[in-house]
Amino acid sequence: MAVPAALTEDQIYHRCPPEKLDFETTEKLDDLELPFGQDRMLRALEFGASMAASGFNLFVLGPTGAGKHELVKRFLANHASGKPVPPDWCHLFNFLQSDKPNAIELPPGDGRTFRNDMNDLVSELKTVIPATFESEEYQSRIQELQEEVNRRQQKGLLVIQEEANANNIAMVSTPAGFSFAPMRNGEVIEPEKYETLSDEEKELVEAKVDDLQKKLQQAIQQVPRLRKEVRERIHQLNEEMVQLTLGGPIGELREKWAHVPAVVVHLDAVREDIVEHAEAFQDDENGAPAGLLNRYRVNLLVDNADTRGAPVVYEDLPNHQHLSGQIEHRARQGNLYTDFTLIRAGSLHRANGGYLILDARRILTQPLAWESLKRILFSGEIRIESLERLYGLATTVSQQPEPIPLNVKVVLLGERMLYYLLSHYDPDFLDLFKVEADFEDDLDRDNASYMLYARMIATMARASGLKVLDKAAVARVIEHASRLASDQKKLTAHDRVLKDLLAEADHWASQAGEGHIGVEQVQQAIDEREYRASRIRERSLEQIRRGVMMIATEGAQVGQVNGLSVLQIGATRFGQPTRITATARPGKGQVVDIEREAKLGGPIHSKAVMILSRFLANRYAPMGELSLSASLAFEQSYGGVEGDSASVAETCVLLSAITGVPLKQSLAVTGSMNQHGEVQAVGGVNEKIEGFFNVCAQSGGVDGQGALLPASNLEHLMLNEQVREAVREGRFSVYPLSHIDQAIELMTGMEAGVPGTDGVYPESTFNRLVADRLAEFADVSKKKDDDKANSSGGNGGDNNRDD
Amino acid sequence: MVTTTATTDKPKAPMPAGRVLILLDGSRLSLAALEAAGEIASARNADVLGIFVEETNLLRAAGYGFAREVGGSSGLARPLEAAALEARMQALAEQARRSLQQTMARRGLAQTLKLCRGRVAKEVLNLMQPEDLVVLGRVGWSGIPGTRLGSTARVLLRQAPGDVLLWAEPRPRRQNRVVVLLNHDQGANHRAVRVGAELARRSNQPLSVLIHTRPEDDQSVAEDILTYLQREGIAARVKRIPVASAGAAVRVLQEEGATQLVVSRTSNLFTDQGAEALLSELNLPITVTP
């Protein structure tokens, strides 16, 4: 197999062609309204925002810092501006059930007018009704009523008095009532004289007195009924007077609000209530109690007077109360009171008829908020209930406002993981959030995208108030965006990282006194950023330089190779070489993965080692036994190993251990391998190569070193300037691998060898060496087995057969 | 209620030298009238004579074995016993004495309580001199519920030789005027105007004089009264009103915002049959001059 040629500088770095950028500075570039390359997400948004059916709420998923929030807000604001303004909502006192305030819908802007109208009415009531009661008309009518009752009351008594007088009996007033006694010439007869009367006369008198007493009793006992009657008639009069007084103001309002039947109904109820409570307005000292008047006021829950188009609301603290609204209380002398005027709208109320943007992570971390949101979306109406009431923790009397019908699009923003977890674990989730709008992490880098990306950068700089960028700076940002995407054919779509980079470059430009951002400032921003995060990397390099961590970058060694790994700490990633060693001796066809045995290896790594052991068996002992006991270890690795990117290196080092052929220590290897020996792509190639390069540079300079990587990773290379310089000068080489044999040839300098038609590798090739060596191992093992079988009575057979 | 803000800086009119007689029966209204009498007596620096009359008819009625007292509010009948009634009358008299003493002692006035037995109106008329003022509640405890003018008041109104003040507790109103109601051709006008002027000065209220006038009557009467009042230093207005029924007069009084009324007994108001009832509707203190 031919050894691959080392890559050229152009292959390891995809420059931004200057001719694709048709401008001098970003000043001339137009803003980009919507991001490019996010067509899938935009179509999903468009669909979700327009889809009327219930359950078609949106979940916008993408990595944090991708600019989801800003984009969604901008998109929805744009989309909503053409939609109708939703109605206003008011809570009104319910005169039938005082703890269940009514909710009424009003055309947008009318809510405010209605509230003012009712406030005016209340002010008017305060003066008009007492004035009615003070009027001479009312006073004289009341007096008439009382006189009439008095007359009727007196009449009964006077009749009795007259009857008594006619019978010569006096009706005498006593301190507590009346008494009857016989009378002559207007004076009560002295009891002594009365005794002289005949028995018949006395009998007549006493019978009459008795009769009169009974009549008097009856007459007096009529009095309470009369009083009740007068009370009723006074009440009737009050109603009549108030009814007439209210005719004007309420009539006007009725006419004004004839287009809203609910208001008319309410006005009628208000009138009824005022009439019913007319007496309360009679208090000259204090006027009508405030509590009574407040019942006629309007609690304007949702005011869309100033809303243009459909509302777009972002709730930054999406807890239960903020979403569904709450009922506040007023403390008065240590007691808590509430009424319908203390009902407060939630963000769902405000967003009703439009869009509500929520952060998925935040709503999930607020206790019970997610459940509340789902319940409201399912029921299609907003019912304001306090949490303590909802969960039966408080049973005090409170308000239960009439639910308000809900028509809102909820747009959740969150990471992909949340979306997938919710889909998996919450059975309601997909019922309610049927539209997924998935953000692209990376954008395609092609001829058409250069200018668009440049405009995106220009838009960002302008929006953040940064200096303009010149052409070279934009080109450098584009190249860096490719590096961030770890792909020559992609550009990162990560909004935050780019913005930060531009802001830092702007800072350095200001420091340097530049009027615009040049390529130097962009480079400085990248370098400074890297430097700030470099403490651990520097420490690691120092360990290698001082020999604490043993890495060889020159010479050749049997059973030892430089693998490449990537460390990620926080937001920074860097690569570093790791020494992988192997041992081999005859045995029962097993490759011991020391990392796994020590429980420092992950499952993917174990899988890779198993693949490589099957590769060995299949390739070098297809018909016979693989008599091998080998071991593999990552030296000085104490933190665990995961991934299969070391399998090419492990294969090389194992074969070196079997054959005793030394491997070049100036080359580092990365790449995964399948059972047929084909090399497969891995991640983090840029960091790995740069990491090895840095180690070489620190330990005696870069001179003839290189790195091997899968050919399929070629497009992922965006290596830094130092590496490119070394490649340009031929001091450092990067080789693409497509098969394990290429790695063997590069590492050993020997021909790998292709088996002939008989399946045997040609003489003096590396593979022949391996096959021969393994055959030797097999012989040794067989001999050992035979001896063992003989000594144990010859029941050998195939019990030590390797498979 | 008459206020105590009597002004002393204004020129004092010659005060009637008579006593102030106050009828006491222990009822709530008689106690209110007692306060008013105290005020008047204090302003006039007059002696006060309290009168408590034990009604003969009542005492006699209690002497009958079959006598029952029917409760004025409850309508329940219970035996009326002479001994119990005596005790009650004594207690009432004692209470009247105490109230009188307290009220007058506060103002440093000399007072006497006259206890007598007989018919109330007759006893009062016996005790009264022409220059005296008798003060009484419009109704006592001895009233049919709803009555606005008791029997004693009725008699005194027509027969008393001096001024009679029928006390009532008026509702507080915003307007406060002392109103004197006169006939055009009336010899007793002067006394009524004088009493009205005194009242107005004492209670610090404006005065209105309303004169029933026929179109053909001389206009000078009104001017004379006004001149007199101006000389006395009293803020007053004099109005001529047409001669009409008692009901019309009452309406005029209401319009005028009267809180106290002074009227002569000879006023043609009293010739009207329903005058008393109408007067009683006014529910304000009325001074009737002979």
Output the CA–CA distances (angstroms, integers) from residue A342 to A338, A401, B71, B147, in the order listed: 6, 11, 54, 53
Check: CB of residue A173 under 8 Å from CB of residue B58.
yes
Q: DSSP letter for A682, please.
A: -
State the Cα angle at A613 between A608 and A617, rounded to 5°.
145
> Could you read off the pLDDT of B135-154 as tens digits, one per residue?
887 766 655 555 666 777 77
Chain A touched by B70 (CB under 8 Å):
yes
B182, with CB counted inside 10 A (0-12, 13-18, 19+), is: buried
Q: Answer whether B68 sits within 8 Å of A206, measured CB to CB.
A: no
Is residue B249 included in any domain, yes or no? yes
d(CA B288, CA B262): 6
> Which tokens in the block code for residue A324?
């569904």
| pLDDT confidence tier of residue B280, bands split at 50, 70 and 90 | low
B23, with CB counted inside 10 A (0-12, 13-18, 19+), is: buried
CATH superfamily entry for domain A38-86+307-439: P-loop containing nucleotide triphosphate hydrolases (3.40.50.300)
Amino acid A663: pLDDT? 96
Structural domains in chain B (count): 2
Helix (H, G, I), strand (E, B) or coil at B165: strand
d(CA A258, CA A688): 77
Q: Answer whether A180 sits within 8 Å of B68, measured CB to CB.
A: yes
Q: Which of B167, B198, B223 is the last residue of a domain?
A: B167
Amino acid B96: pLDDT? 86
Q: How far apart are the first and last CA of chain A?
A: 29
pLDDT value at B14 more than 70: no
Amino acid A230: pLDDT? 83
Check: CB of residue A68 under 8 Å from CB of residue A314.
no
User: Nearest-CA distance from B148 to chain A in Å?
Assistant: 10
Check: CB of residue A747 under 8 Å from CB of residue A754.
no
Query: What residues of A are in contact with residue B143 (Cβ under 8 Å)?
Result: 173
Query: What residues of B are in contact with residue A173 (Cβ under 8 Å)?
Result: 58, 140-143
More confident residue, A560 or B42: A560
Q: Answer whether B57 sits within 8 Å of A181, measured CB to CB.
A: yes
> Could you read off the pLDDT of A449-505 as tens digits, one per residue?
999 999 999 999 999 999 999 999 999 999 999 999 999 999 998 888 999 999 999
Is residue B134 located within the same domain as residue B184? no
Going from N- to C-terminal start, the domains of chain A cover: 19-34+442-532, 38-86+307-439, 111-255+272-299, 551-780
Compare CB distances from B67 to A153, A179, A221 and report the shortest one's residue.
Answer: A179
User: Nearest-CA distance from A136 to chain B in Å?
Assistant: 9
Q: If one looks up domain A551-780 in CATH, what number appears?
A: 3.30.230.10
Chain A touched by B56 (CB under 8 Å):
yes
**Interface TM-score (ipTM) > 0.90:** no
Query: What residues of B are in contact with residue A216 (Cβ under 8 Å)?
Result: 70, 75
Sign, CA dihedral A373-A379-A380-A384, equals: negative
**Ranges assigned E (strand) in A303-377:** 312-314, 326-327, 330-332, 335-337, 343-344, 355-359
Strand partners, A706: A667, A733
Distance of CA A544 to the CA centre of its chain: 45
Secondary element (H or E) of residue A585: strand A572-585
DSSP A589-646: SEEEEHHHHTT-B-HHHHHHHHHHHHHHHHHH-SSS----EEEEEETT--S-B-SSTT
**Four-way CATH pick for A19-34+442-532: 2.60.40.10, 3.40.50.300, 3.40.1000.10, 1.10.8.60:** 1.10.8.60
> Could you read off the pLDDT of B247-260 as tens digits, one per residue?
677 777 777 777 78
Check: CB of residue A4 under 8 Å from CB of residue A742.
yes
Is residue B236 included in any domain, yes or no? yes
Amino acid A750: pLDDT? 93
Residue ranges of chain A with per-residue pLDDT less than 50: 794-803
Compare CB distances from A176 to B57, B63, B71 and report the shortest one's residue.
Answer: B71
Amino acid B4: pLDDT? 32
> Could you read off the pLDDT of A321-333 as tens digits, one per residue?
999 999 998 888 8
Is residue B148 located within the same domain as residue B247? no
Is residue B185 located within the same domain as residue B82? no
Is residue B275 included in any domain, yes or no? yes
Q: Answer whether B144 sits within 8 Å of A158, measured CB to CB.
A: yes
Amino acid A782: pLDDT? 83
In one letter, which amino acid is B154?
R
Rounded to 5 degrees, φ, ψ at A127 are -100, -40
Minimal Cα distance from B254: which residue of A?
Answer: A136
pLDDT value at B223 more than 90: no
Q: Which of B117, B138, B167 is the last residue of a domain?
A: B167
Helix (H, G, I), strand (E, B) or coil at A337: strand
Sign, CA dihedral A517-A518-A523-A524, equals: negative
Amino acid A798: pLDDT? 43
Amino acid A58: pLDDT? 93
Catalytic residues of A: 645, 688
Compare CB distances from B144 to A154, A181, A218 and report the shortest one's residue.
Answer: A154
Sign, CA dihedral A663-A667-A670-A674, equals: negative
Minimal Cα distance from B68: which residue of A?
Answer: A179
d(CA A222, CA A217): 9
> Which tokens in the block code for residue A344?
């407060």
Chain A touched by B188 (CB under 8 Å):
no
d(CA A541, CA A535): 10
Compare CB distances from B60 to A147, A190, A210 and report the shortest one's residue.
Answer: A190
Amino acid B273: pLDDT? 60
d(CA A39, CA A477): 23
d(CA B103, CA A245): 47
| Host domain of residue B274 | 177-289
Is residue B130 located within the same domain as residue B85? yes
Chain B touched by A218 (CB under 8 Å):
yes
Is residue B30 located within the same domain as residue B140? yes
